[in-house]
Amino acid sequence: MSLDTLSRSCYSEDHEAFRSTVRRFVAEQLEPHADKWDEDGIVPKEVWPKAGELGILCPTVPEEYGGLGLDFGYNAIIDEEVGYGTDVATGFSLQSDIVANYIIQYGSEEQKKTWLPKMVSGEIVTAIAMTEPGTGSDLQGLRTTAKKDGNHYVINGSKTYITNGQNADLILVCAKTDTEVQPAWKGVSIILVEASREGFKRGRNLDKVGLDAADTSEMFFEDVRVPITNCLGEEGRGFIYLMSELPQERLGIAISAQTAAQRAFDMTVEFTRDRKAFGKSVLDFQNTRFVLADLKAKLQVGWAHLDWCIARHIKHELTPVEASGAKLWHTELQGEVVDKCLQLHGGAGFMNEYPIAKQWRGARVTRIFGGTSEIMKELIGRSL
């Protein structure tokens, strides 16, 4: 079963040639290990260099820093193929769609030369530490501090729900470098922290409802000293950087949600065609056909909208409000699709041995991370 891309409008022949490489990697290197990695609660780090060898990590990184210098469409293809070809939550998109862009856009020349080639090759795994216990999406309410001491910052605080938390070699830590300034967002900076720094500790690999293979962790910083040169961009502009890069993060989530919804739908069509009830195929019941017909129409609209978003983002025209709308619509669609598809599986849908159960569990968080659906509505509403 492969993602149907014949009607797509936002990709070139070069994009589609790259897709075949990603699709083969997913089929050979990810999907066969899905159950084992879910059981382990982590994707082993040795997978990352294999992806790096094929250009599947951080394809937008400029060539002078070891990358391919490609457009975001290549990131989108990776998100689509990983999202459709397997239920494994790899953490690749965090590195490629989010962290790489921060360093490309705001990193010093030294930071770019030090970290980007290793991110491209898969030599290192990265994470970004925003969320804290008790603050959730309120980035202005950060309690983690980075206080100057000579030519160093001393970092204290804790983070939670950090994707790639167990594997990360480099963490972009959002911290208050000024706790007195008002408004509070002006005191937020982003500090690069190597996991080898004394005082840094990883907490639990958190037990989640879904996305079992994703190593989502707590992190603790106790008098962690890093050079002031580890500040990403300008001190005190971290909140502005975060707001500037959120559209790409939210578009990436929308892409993954749409492709996961399509995977659930396609699997359910096959399941209902094969499953018999009252002497005929479940797909032959009018209710089944009507439910699937409704979902198919919504998925069709979703792909058209997603192509519009990707094309606009490649041209650097996608606005924060449009990205918020995409994140809201596609994740809510994913929730609807997986829920109705599970229902059509009957009792089998509630069994973890069937892929739809894993998809249903994994889908729930997409309406939460990257900004909840409620926050997306608030952001869109403010623009009216």
Nearest Cα residue to 173 out of 135, 121, 230, 248: 230
**Every domain of the chain and the residues it spans:** 13-124, 127-236, 240-382
Question: Are the C-beta atoms of 254 and 374 separated by less than 8 Å?
Answer: no
- Residue 269 CA to residue 285 CA, distance in Å, equals 12
Q: Each residue of 3-52: pLDDT tens digit?
A: 888 788 899 999 999 999 999 999 999 999 999 999 999 999 999 999 99
| Residue 196: pLDDT over 90 | yes
Query: Which CATH code is given to the segment(s) 13-124?
Result: 1.10.540.10
**Strand, helix or coil for residue 350:** helix
Q: Give the DSSP H/E element, type plus range, for residue 173.
A: strand 170-176
Strand 145-149 with 188-194, pairing: unpaired
Q: Which tens digit of pLDDT belongs to each residue from 220-229?
A: 999 999 999 9
Residue of 80, 81, 249, 322 marked active site: 249
What average pLDDT does range 131-143 have in this prediction? 78
Helix 238-274 × helix 320-344 angle, to 10°: 30
Cα four-point dihedral sign 173, 176, 177, 182: positive
Band of the pLDDT at 136, cuts 50, 70, 90?
A: low
Q: What is the CATH number of domain 240-382?
A: 1.20.140.10
Torsion of CA 290, 294, 300, 306, to 10 degrees: -150
Q: How far apart are CA 377 and CA 383, in angstroms?
A: 10
What is the Cα 365 distance to its own chain's centre? Answer: 11
CATH architecture of 127-236: Beta Barrel (2.40)
Establish whether 249 is a catalytic residue.
Answer: yes
Confidence of residue 137 (pLDDT cuts 50, 70, 90): low
Q: Do residues 373 and 328 touch, judged by C-beta distance below 8 A?
A: yes
Q: How do residues 144-156 score in pLDDT, each as one tens digit?
A: 999 999 999 999 9
Are 279 and 252 in contact by the 8 Å Cβ rule? The answer is no
Element containing residue 162 per DSSP (H, E): strand 152-163
pLDDT at position 265 over 90: yes
Per-residue model confidence (pLDDT) at position 2: 82
The per-residue pLDDT for 303 is: 97
d(CA 300, CA 188): 41
Overall average pLDDT of the 99-111 stretch: 97
Please, which residues have CB within 8 angstroms of residue 196's CB and are 6 or more apart in sequence?
Answer: 169
For residue 360, give the nearest of 216, 269, 260, 252 by alpha carbon: 260
Q: What residue type is assigned to position 106 of the chain?
A: Y
Provide φ and ψ at 189, rounded to 5°: -130, 165
Quote the tokens at residue 88.
Answer: 């494994």
